[in-house]
Structure 1
Amino acid sequence: MIRGFEPTDADQAASLLARAYERDDELNLVQSLRERGELQTELVWDQDGVILGHATMARHLHPIGWQTISTVAVDASVRGQGIGSDLVRACLEAARQADAGAVTVLGNVRYYQRFGFTRSAAEALETPFSRDETLMYPIRIENAGIMAELVYPAPYSRS
């Protein structure tokens, strides 16, 4: 079941991130965003007290009111069962509830397109990261194709 992150989840979430990404960059990003209070949303998939999925979203510094999916991690033993998809959908719903203007993501284009993220909506965005992997989900349709500079929280510069 998906629920909000609790401080007691920190060790299991850290272990999952390290296993899922097979490097420390994403783990360090999440921990730094959490410590700085820059996570907008942090969710876990909890199965009988075992964290099998974890997702985070941070606030963009610019445009104001936009968010970015920072990480989505699923334990290898349950991949392919829809947990990651459910976490992404829950993140998008949290962004809608927070009245975000748009959500961006850096990642696998084919994976995120199934949720409505597109490169065309993000084509006019200036980003410090790969334009080919920068996608947007415009919660407010007027944000699709908008010219804007994406400014990420400081911990992104270290990831």
Structure 2
Amino acid sequence: MREEDCIDLLRMAGCSAGVIAHCRAVRDLALTYASDPLIDRGLVEVGALLHDIGRGVTHDIRHAEVGGEICRSFGLDEAVIAIVERHIGAGLTADECSLLSLLPRDCMPRTAEEKIVAHADNLVKGTRVITLDERLLHAIALPRRQRRRIYRLGLEVELFR
């Protein structure tokens, strides 16, 4: 899928110019981690561009779940849908989803592509790339377990760079 196709989908889903700019910034950063030949660069690019498609409907925690539903309605590949649904922080367990009034399903990033997009999203605030330390400062209100998960994901994905 071409970038223009992804941008068209974001617009059809109601995403603002700011959300689209953020998605492009996440894509640009994510691709810096996708140089290993075992990583599907095309999947990373499409997943990063569409990761916040649910923000056309809501800007709360439900945007990942809503984004997955939007992607399904567009007939997108399950690998892209998984990136969209699993990009929050460093993922959410089924129990955490349930506590947040989301569908009680495992939303932990599993594949390298899912992890790369989640990490890149963690490091892009608006369109500005921040450090992992800055991200952790922004996440200070999160439970320690989730902050630790963000840190570990960062350490793991930074090995790809």
TM over 0.5: no
Structure number having the greater helix percentage:
2
Instruction: State the TM-score, normalized to the length of structure 1.
Output: 0.34
Structure number having the greater strand percentage:
1
Instruction: State the TM-score, normalized to the length of structure 2.
Output: 0.34
